């Protein structure tokens, strides 16, 4: 195992990775911007290095500075967390060329799954079901012709990138033409590629993803699924495992397809195969959406129901060591877990509201886990994603998990910046969410 790992990230995910490293006796090296000089991940690490000014482009995204930090601290490996450089194949190559271990999949796997159109084609070849869609389209006229053939509604999607950027559901040709041009512009600005394609849009669908782990010996295993249908602006807000809308038969089919998807790109490390499950279909079907070639924000719900430390498994794969889990006798998910993303944002309109934290009180007790990147006295700046913490609960079944989640939300106090905790109070009392029969339109219906 490594003696020293540099964590190329910030916030709660950096703290979470650092703590597993320290539990394993590995020196954890943090990097930070000037704005994060006193941040929790810096205070938690064994050593830290200043990268540069507050803007991410001049600090966390500066590959040369990150690699220099690894060199001067003697780090043997780089863990990218999620976001920033986590799915940057060029960064992964630079890490390896510098003689360091990359805690993630091979650059080739990142590239194969980073382009949504190429990923769709690879999944078709692997026998993984995909929704009807197109190759990248030249202009709005070509998009209109393709949409007429697929049938409205359709989803306009950027071929590169993620995070809901460059995505829009459209229901007629006028809407399509406007959305197509907007998506091209945003895709060029955020991802450096204006390529846009269409895919059939499922107005009523669950967003369900499978956690996969590619082992050092080449085998790929699946560790259950997570339901990520509670979303605003195509971005997840709450997740749970197992999905209350997935039958045993559908679950088995999804897990098998996810393994085939990862095997198709010779995947190593932790990854997630995301799918859409039609909510209004009598048939038990699903469609491949994309693969995230990194650790997911919502990985704790899988850890809570399986007992597997996914970060430790990532490190073991990167070091070429066998896993802690037994691939021939995988842990069967036990009980039910729910994760709620606590953001510094308005709970009604979900707009960021940074500021200094004047009160921070985390809930604690049996079945409660808080992965936080801040604490009392810290300042949430406007420079980065406003995720404060992930509030997670586990209980023997879903009703008990819902009740524990209500108690945990009530016991979490954040004052100073805006905070979306009141939204979770609302969500956990929503009859639709409580029933488990919800889809990605849930928040829109709650707000209508």
Q: Are residues 274 and 207 in contact, defined by beta-carbon separation less than 8 angstroms? A: yes
The string of DSSP letters for 105-119 reads S-HHHHHHHHSHHHH
Q: Tell me the average pLDDT across 418-434.
A: 98
Query: Does residue 161 carry a pLDDT above 80?
Result: no
Over residues 194-249, the pLDDT tens digits come to: 999 999 999 899 999 999 999 999 999 999 999 999 999 889 999 999 999 999 99
Q: Tell me the average pLDDT across 297-316.
A: 98
- E strand residue ranges, 43-159: 47-52, 77-79, 101-102, 154-158
Average pLDDT taken over every residue of the chain = 96
Specify the pLDDT at position 266: 97
Q: Are residues 343 and 260 in contact, defined by beta-carbon separation less than 8 angstroms? A: no
Coil, helix or strand at residue 165: coil
Q: 149: closest CA among 173, 128, 179?
A: 173
Q: Tell me the average pLDDT across 38-48.
A: 98
Specify the pLDDT at position 314: 98
- According to CATH, the topology of domain 132-200 is Dna Ligase; domain 1 (3.30.1490)
Q: Residue 284: which pLDDT band, with cuts at 50, 70 and 90?
A: confident
Specify the pLDDT at position 56: 97
Burial of 175 (C-beta count, 10 Å sphere; 0-12/13-18/19+): middle
Structure-block tokens of residue 189: 């600005």
Question: Active-site positions?
Answer: 294
Q: Hey, where are the domains in the chain?
A: 4-103, 132-200, 205-447
CA-based R_g, the chain, Å: 21
The string of DSSP letters for 37-65 reads TT-HHHHHSSEEEEEESSSGGGTTT-HHH
Query: Does residue 172 carry a pLDDT above 90?
Result: yes
Which CATH code for domain 205-447?
3.30.470.20
Structure-block tokens of residue 317: 């794969």
Q: Residue 107: which pLDDT band, with cuts at 50, 70 and 90?
A: very high
Measured CA to CA, the distance from residue 74 to residue 199 in angstroms comes to 46
Query: Does residue 283 carry a pLDDT above 80?
Result: no
Establish whether domains 4-103 and 205-447 are of one fold.
no
Q: Are residues 157 and 183 in contact, defined by beta-carbon separation less than 8 angstroms? A: yes
The string of DSSP letters for 342-386 reads EESB-TTT--B--EE-SEEE---STTEEEEES--TT-EE-TTS--
Query: Does residue 281 carry a pLDDT above 80?
Result: no
- According to CATH, the topology of domain 4-103 is Rossmann fold (3.40.50)
Measured CA to CA, the distance from residue 159 to residue 339 in angstroms comes to 29
Coil, helix or strand at residue 24: coil
Query: Does residue 159 carry a pLDDT above 80?
Result: yes
Query: Does residue 316 carry a pLDDT above 80?
Result: yes
- Residues paired with 413 in a beta bridge: 361
């Amino acid at each position: 195992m490594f003696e020293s790992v540099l964590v190329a990230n910030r916030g709660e995910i950096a703290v979470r990775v650092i703590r597993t490293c320290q539990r394993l006796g590995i020196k954890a090296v943090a990097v930070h911007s000037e704005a994060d000089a006193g941040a929790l991940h810096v205070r938690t690490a064994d050593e830290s290095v200043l990268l540069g000014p507050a803007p991410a482009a001049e600090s966390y995204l500066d590959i040369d500075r990150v690699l220099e930090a690894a060199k001067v601290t003697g780090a043997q490996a780089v863990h990218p967390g999620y976001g920033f450089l986590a799915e940057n194949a060029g960064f992964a190559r630079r890490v390896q060329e510098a003689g360091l271990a990359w805690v993630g999949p091979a650059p080739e796997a990142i590239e194969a799954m980073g382009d949504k159109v190429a990923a769709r084609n690879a999944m078709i070849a692997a026998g993984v079901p995909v929704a009807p869609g197109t190759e990248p389209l030249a202009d709005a006229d070509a998009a209109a012709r393709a949409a007429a053939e697929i049938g409205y509604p359709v989803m306009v999607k950027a071929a590169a990138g993620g995070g809901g950027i460059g995505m829009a559901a459209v229901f007629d040709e006028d809407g399509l033409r406007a959305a197509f041009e907007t998506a091209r512009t945003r895709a060029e600005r955020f991802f450096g590629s204006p390529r846009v394609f269409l895919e059939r849009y499922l107005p009523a669908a669950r967003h369900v993803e499978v956690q996969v782990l590619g082992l050092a010996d080449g085998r790929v295993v699946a560790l259950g699924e997570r339901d990520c249908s509670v979303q605003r602006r195509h971005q997840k807000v709450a997740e749970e495992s197992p999905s209350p809308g997935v039958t045993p038969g559908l679950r088995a089919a999804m897990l098998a397809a996810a393994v085939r998807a990862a095997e198709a790109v010779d995947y190593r490390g932790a990854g997630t195969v995301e799918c859409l499950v039609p909510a209004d279909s009598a048939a038990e079907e699903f469609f491949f959406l994309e693969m995230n070639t990194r650790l997911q924000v919502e990985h704790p719900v899988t850890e809570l129901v399986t007992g597997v430390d996914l970060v430790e498994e990532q490190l073991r794969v990167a070091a070429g060591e066998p896993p802690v889990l037994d691939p021939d006798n995988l842990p069967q998910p036990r009980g039910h877990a729910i994760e709620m993303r606590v953001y510094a944002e308005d709970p009604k309109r979900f707009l960021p509201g940074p500021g200094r934290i004047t009160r921070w009180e985390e809930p604690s007790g049996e079945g409660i886990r808080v992965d936080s990147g801040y604490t009392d006295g810290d300042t949430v700046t406007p420079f980065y994603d406003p995720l404060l913490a992930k509030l997670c609960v586990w209980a023997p079944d879903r009703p008990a998990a819902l009740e524990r989640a209500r108690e945990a939300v009530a016991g979490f106090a954040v004052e100073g910046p805006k905070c979306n905790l009141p939204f979770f109070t609302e969500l956990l009392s929503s009859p639709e969410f409580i029933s488990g029969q919800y889809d990605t339109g849930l928040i829109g219906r709650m707000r209508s």
